[in-house]
Structure 1
């Protein structure tokens, strides 16, 4: 397995996240808020030790899984799966998790801070970045819009990923704007935009398959 720039970004982010937790650990409350409702009110907590280091640990496990799973795929899937593209997606995901963790630390040190708006903004930016990355992937069972029709047709896969790229960029931008300037209702608009932009491409894949079969 080659080491790509994305792997370096992922590892550096995880180290920085863990170091940040260690630096402020003594100042953190005994119970950390780790889950919030749409209004930014905490509704889930973890003990300080778990809350401070869960995200870096989870990110490391996710990175190991994503970078390792490609090596146990069937030979055909393995050849089509770009390791560099996977490393880039891992870097993006790790950066997102690291940023969310930083917000959790900030909230723990500044109770009552508005965490909803920055989280929605981060999700919007990640959605846009994922949309730009999707068309780079060839047919594989790990990354991309995976439906029974995309996984059995290179043409369906390519067209669906391209459509999903546009869909997620638009959904990400809409969600970003709605979540940042729309107040309480904007959060639900943002969530709807994220979900719709991820689900509509699956329907598009079905439409393509039916057209091809007619």
Structure 2
């Protein structure tokens, strides 16, 4: 058990540190002023000192570590005390850390090149994250940290189960669509397409869940 814990800590530390190591290796070659913000068309609309990258990197690394610890220890801190599969929580935690590290790589690289092709990298990453989470959604038990945490899903296990079965399929299909289709579009169209798909993926399960709740109260 101890060796497993040490291995997990090592893997997470490496995943979180990789973007920072990359930034350290290229920092000296960056100009004093770099792009710090891009609009949805991928155009630069904000600039700042290159030291900003350190602030962003440290902040995102802290968020990544905090999120990992919360998800990994959800069984210990969740008020519902529903025992989730430790393996499931571990996979979700790793997935989120990998996603945030990949996003940080994209941010650093965009500041280096001065371009942000969200349809080529950012949207596919988001799509893959949702597809990956969708693969696990149907296995998540009612809790206050992961999943569609709505008043009626938290109070009704059957509502939770049906809502997450739907969300699982919808997130996998929607995530794959975003990852596969957005690179084939222009930056602007890829962004709009991805936002529409994400909206459907999030809003439709909420409506479905509420309808189940209303039927159960009749």
State the TM bucket, normalised to the shorter chain. Answer: 0.7 to 0.9
Query: Equivalent residues in 2 for 1:28-39 (5 A)?
Result: 28-39=30-41
Unaligned stretches of 5+ residues in structure 1: none
Task: Give how far 1:66 is off.
Answer: 3.2
- The one-character-per-residue Cα deviations of 1:43-95 (angstroms, maximum 9, x if unpaired) are 35562431343322321232233334542333xx2233333322221211111
The answer to whether the aligner puts 1:92 opposite 2:92 as a matched pair is no
Provide closer, same or farther for how the CA distance between residues 20 and 131 of structure 1 changes in structure 2, counting only shifts above 3 A. same
- Given candidates 102, 107, 112, the residue that maps to 1:109 is 112
Whether the 8 Å CA contact 1:7–1:91 is kept in 2: the answer is no
- Which residue pairs with 1:22 in the alignment? 24
Q: Secondary structure at the match of 1:23?
A: helix
- Given candidates 64, 71, 76, the residue that maps to 1:59 is 64
Deviating more after overlay: 156-165 vs 5-14: 5-14
Q: What number of residue pairs does the alignment pair up?
A: 212
Task: Give how far 1:113 is off.
Answer: 5.5
- Separation in 2, partners of 1:40, 1:116: 9
- Given candidates 179, 187, 192, the residue that maps to 1:188 is 192
- The one-character-per-residue Cα deviations of 1:140-168 (angstroms, maximum 9, x if unpaired) are 11101111111011111111101001111
- Which residue pairs with 2:45 in the alignment? 43
- Structure 1 length normalisation: TM-score? 0.85
The answer to whether the aligner puts 1:129 opposite 2:132 as a matched pair is yes
- Which residue pairs with 2:202 in the alignment? 198
Deviating more after overlay: 25-34 vs 92-101: 25-34
Whether the 8 Å CA contact 2:43–2:116 is kept in 1: the answer is no
Task: Give how far 1:31 is off.
Answer: 4.4
Unaligned stretches of 5+ residues in structure 2: none
